[in-house]
Chains A and B, each alone.
Chain A
Amino acid sequence: MKTFDMQTYQNLIKDVGGLTVENLFVFLCKVQETFGCVPNEVVRDVAMKTGFSEARIYGALTSYREFKVGRECGD
């Protein structure tokens, strides 16, 4: 597992062919797999890019056992 860095993150976005509403779930799964959690700054960034609220994405992530977010992520 890697610690979060912008470059890897940007590459992940490239890998999924750019971030869209339609691949957001898959994308965040990839973020989780890569970094072992979904850092707050990722939530903020995808919220901005998809127009979904940060609250919605955060709340959604916390409903899955496998996503680690917020405090679990050291944020």
Chain B
Amino acid sequence: MKEVCFNIDGTKVTAPEGTTILEAAKGVGIDIPNLCYDSRVEPAGTCRMCVVQIEGRPGLTISCNTPVAEGMEVCTENAEIAAIRRTVLELILSDHRVACTSCDKDGACRLQDYAYRYQADEGRFGLPERRPVKPNYATNSEGILYDPDKCILCGLCVRYCEEVQKAEALTFAGRLGQIEVSTAFGMDLHESTCVLCGGCVEICPAGSMLDRAAIGKGREKDLTRTRTTCAYCGVGCQLDLLTDPKTGRIVKVTSEVGCIPNNGNMCVKGKFAMDFVGSDKRLTTPLIKRNGKFEEATWEEAIEFVAERLKQIRSEFGAESIAGLSSAKCTNEDNYVFQKFIRACIGTNNVDHCARLCHASTVAGLARAFGSGAMTNSIDEIKDAGCIFIIGSNTTEAHPVIGLYVKEGVMKNGAELLVADPRRIDLARFAKLYIAQKPGTDVALINAMMNVIISEEIYDKDFISERTEDFEKLKPILKDFTPEKAEAITTIPAEKIRAAARIYAKADTASIIYSMGITQHTTGTDNVLSLANLAMLTGNVGKASAGVNPLRGQNNVQGACDLGALPNVYPGYQSVEDSQLQTKFESAWEQKLSGRKGLTVVEMMHAIEEDKIKALYIMGENPALSDPNLNRTRKSLEKVDFLVSQDIFLSETAEYADVVLPSVCFAEKDGTFTNTERRVQRVRKAVTPPGQAQSDWEIICEVATKMGYPMAYGGADEIMDEIATVTPIYGGMSFERIDKVGLQWPCPDKEHPGTRFLHEGTFKRGKGKFHPVEYKNPDELPDENYPFVLTTGRQLYQFHTGTMTRKSPVINQVSPTGYVEIHTDDAAGLEISNGEKVEVITRRGKVTTLARVTGNIEKGWLFMPFHFREGPANMLTNDALDPTAKIPEFKVCAAAVNKMKQPV
């Protein structure tokens, strides 16, 4: 971009063309007062505080909407400007109930700051009349408070909601004298299109919008601010936890504009669902089950007990009879220590975690095609893509902040959005083309798209010949896979498949985004391979704003995989079956290791049935709700001889345990998470843990030591230093380097700047490899008895099994319970009305839940979120596995739905 040179208050400054005067001034440390500016929204120029004088222009000009120009001379303040600013402030104050004495915002309020700076007299033009107290749109909101008496009508909240979040929940309503922020019809916020991102509260420059729960709990200036990484999804938003130093509790959560990767944006979970941290349901002491009842125990007793039982089982049945489930919720350091404990102390590779249930097929597929299973590109590249192809990802619900980048790409940068999803997800609103494939038919769709791309010769011949292999093997399989053939399988009209193929192939840069809609199938690996084929066919790998981008669900799935919480690889995807690597780790860990790969999650459960696994050590996971075919899983948990659950709550799984060990949550520990774009980021301790809870790695170290394999670290940073020595992709990581901004792996050494996108110039595995993929039906198809296709997934407001989110009153208000989505016509046929109780039945189980009748799902399909213990979708799901990745088919099964018999 062209740089322009100009003058601000006599200082020579250069800035890229198009920069506004306000931003350029900010860049050189001059704070031009502003009350309606935020870098994330378009300027609106409503406060008029930012006026400056430009040499040669008559009068004053607002700086937030004026780009700098070559040779421009700007004066940001003189006596005249200062006087006008003061008058404008005094006007604003004459219309704003000054209540700094009791306002949460005191000390962190732009209005207050400027009033002080210009010594504005709040009573100069009279004090505002107080409006009669009447309910407004937020009166009944658990999350947000809106005080029209304090509102300065800058419009930032409305613009944020409209331009950034695109929820369009807010507006100004009323005429001069009565203008205030409102929803449509003034309806309650939680009934509007609001998604409770909290962006409006965050952006408010005065104390007009506040976190309701934080009122009176501490002024911002009195609170302690701790920067950390969000514990919910894989986006890895940087959050600031504001805690009261007196009570040690989290008062509220904010985020800073400019931070990576979320630029101050959050979703409802990061913003409003931290109540779990201070919940009185937290585990505070170790528990040992005696005579079927949990009894409190000391740490010594508990550790002793666990160590003894594990030793006993190992000596009786061998190391392979013990298995461990590590956790995508825990830090990299916890995961490293856990898998080291299982491998070096116990002596088996039976370690896995819930990534098996979400992205095992990604890791398997992308590793084969490209040589690395990670997201190829970075989050902020998405907004610059020419085409964004979203398939099997309900991005705005499961990865809301990435959803914002997608919307920005479309609305601001003109990206063409292609959405393929069985459900009309919210992003379909922004799509150039939306197509609904029948669940489980993704391979057919993608093969047909490739058929079109090849027959219309819009593929990248140079890329294929220079950078890939086995293209010839791909061709024959695609030859007959015409859009017409795919139409019969997917139900998508052939013409739309053609259009989709063209949009994708013709874009300069096309970025594929997918998630569990692709991976959780018996054909999960095939699906992933197909997407890899598509990307290579069009040369969309190894460059910015392109690639194949699996979005990781849990905050640290990426890290748990990276650090070897997988049965087949050591940290850094180093195979346990490679004897050289085995030797390397044996010498690093000073212990003989098993060269046999271990069992995966669902295999472990099945092995318990077969008496092959006797003890299971579970750290921070809840398979009793998250795994498929729950009845079967729960039987296994019941059956296993010895079950340890190390968790922050007494989860559904912990109920089955023999010993429960209380651990600390993300807000109570130091460490790192690796987000979905491979960025290793700091987790920092903000509050003291409840009772005797200890951090996961400390507990594990104690158990290991007790079992005779001494493990000890001075702190999480020391663990990271050890990780760096044995894990080449993390070779350059250290707490010091990632203190301010995270670092993206591969980062092999201390000088390496990290990697924004993978496979530049050459693939990790050398050449990209095409894999011809045949279409296969899902494991279970609808039939006479089970006529519906049931698919499961997530919902914005809840996370995973709800143990964390369901502690938040804000969330309980909008998402009190589970439901099943059913098409309007199907519902009519079964005489089911919206909100009515229904029964959903599959070959594996039956649950009762509420019907949500909608036009957003195709006829014949059902959708259930899986977060709710009172209507657990996973009672119904199929545990048939993908043969390669062993991922279960959560996304498709045959089901029936019935109206509940009315009580007579």
Contacts and interface: CB of A to CB of B under 8 A. Distances in A.
A40 B185 contact: yes
Interface in B160-177: 162, 168-175
B394 interface: no
Contacts of B175: 62-65
B34 interface: no
A12 to B, nearest CB: 21
B192 interface: yes
Interface in A6-63: 40, 43, 47, 53-60, 62-63
A59 B182 contact: yes
Contacts of B182: 55, 58-59, 62
Contacts of B169: 53, 55
Given A55-B168, A55-B183, A55-B184, A62 B193 contact: no
Contacts of A56: 162, 168, 171
Contacts of A47: 184
A40 B168 CA distance: 17
A59 B173 contact: yes
Contacts of B170: 55
A75 interface: yes
Interface in B188-209: 192-193
A32 to B, nearest CB: 16
B182 to A, nearest CB: 7
Q: Which of B169, B173, B182 has the most CB of A within 10 A?
A: B173
Q: Which of A43, A57, A59 has the most CB of B within 10 A?
A: A59
B255 to A, nearest CB: 24
A48 to B, nearest CB: 11
Contacts of A70: 185-186
A69 B435 CA distance: 37
- What is the interface residue range for chain A against chain B? 10 to 19
A44 B185 CA distance: 10
A67 B233 CA distance: 45
Nearest to A44: B184
B184 A53 contact: yes
Q: Which of B162, B169, B182, B184 has the most CB of A within 10 A?
A: B184
Nearest to B179: A63
Interface in B793-826: none
A47 B186 CA distance: 16
Nearest to B182: A59
Nearest to A57: B184
| Interface of B: prevailing SS | mixed
Contacts of A55: 168-171, 182-184, 192-193
A50 to B, nearest CB: 13
A53 B173 contact: no
B184 A54 contact: yes
Contacts of A64: 175
A71 B136 CA distance: 13
B168 A58 contact: no
A55 B181 CA distance: 10
A23 B169 CA distance: 24
Given A53-B193, A55-B169, A62 B174 contact: yes
A75 B193 contact: no
A54 to B, nearest CB: 4
Contacts of A54: 184-185, 193
Nearest to A53: B168
A70 B67 CA distance: 41
A62 B173 contact: yes
A71 B172 CA distance: 16
A23 B65 CA distance: 31
Contacts of B185: 40, 43, 54, 58, 69-70, 75
A62 B184 CA distance: 10
A55 B158 CA distance: 10
A64 to B, nearest CB: 8
A54 B162 CA distance: 12
Nearest to A62: B173
A70 B186 CA distance: 8
A23 to B, nearest CB: 21
Contacts of B172: 59, 63
B54 to A, nearest CB: 33
A47 B174 CA distance: 19
B621 to A, nearest CB: 41
A43 B192 CA distance: 14
B868 to A, nearest CB: 29
Interface string B201-233: 000000000000000000000000000000000
Nearest to B171: A59
B520 to A, nearest CB: 33
Contacts of B183: 55
B174 to A, nearest CB: 5
Contacts of B162: 53, 56
A59 B193 CA distance: 15
Nearest to A71: B186
Contacts of B173: 58-59, 62-63
Nearest to A75: B185
B168 to A, nearest CB: 3
Given A53-B193, A55-B169, A55-B192, A43 B174 contact: no
Q: Which of A63, A64, A65 has the most CB of B within 10 A?
A: A63
A63 B153 CA distance: 14
A58 B174 contact: no
B164 to A, nearest CB: 14
Nearest to B429: A51
A55 B193 CA distance: 9
A71 B170 CA distance: 18
A63 B193 contact: no
A68 to B, nearest CB: 13
Contacts of A75: 185
Contacts of A65: 175
A31 to B, nearest CB: 16
A63 B162 CA distance: 18
Nearest to A60: B171
Contacts of B174: 62-63
Nearest to A56: B171
A69 B186 CA distance: 11
A70 to B, nearest CB: 5
A64 B174 CA distance: 8
Contacts of A60: 171
Contacts of B193: 53-55
A1 to B, nearest CB: 21
Nearest to B172: A59
Contacts of B186: 70-71
Nearest to A64: B175
B424 to A, nearest CB: 14
Contacts of A40: 185
Nearest to B175: A63
Nearest to B170: A55
B274 to A, nearest CB: 28
A59 B174 CA distance: 7
A51 B174 CA distance: 22
Nearest to A61: B173
Interface string B135-171: 0000000000000000000000000001000001111
Interface of A: 40, 43, 47, 53-60, 62-65, 69-71, 75
Given A59-B173, A62-B174, 13 more contacts: A40-B185, A53-B171, A53-B184, A54-B193, A55-B171, A55-B183, A55-B192, A56-B162, A56-B168, A58-B173, A58-B182, A63-B174, A65-B175
Q: Which 8 A-B pairs have the closest CB atoms?
A: A59-B171, A53-B168, A54-B184, A55-B171, A58-B184, A62-B173, A55-B184, A59-B173
5 contacts: A40-B185, A54-B184, A55-B171, A62-B182, A65-B175
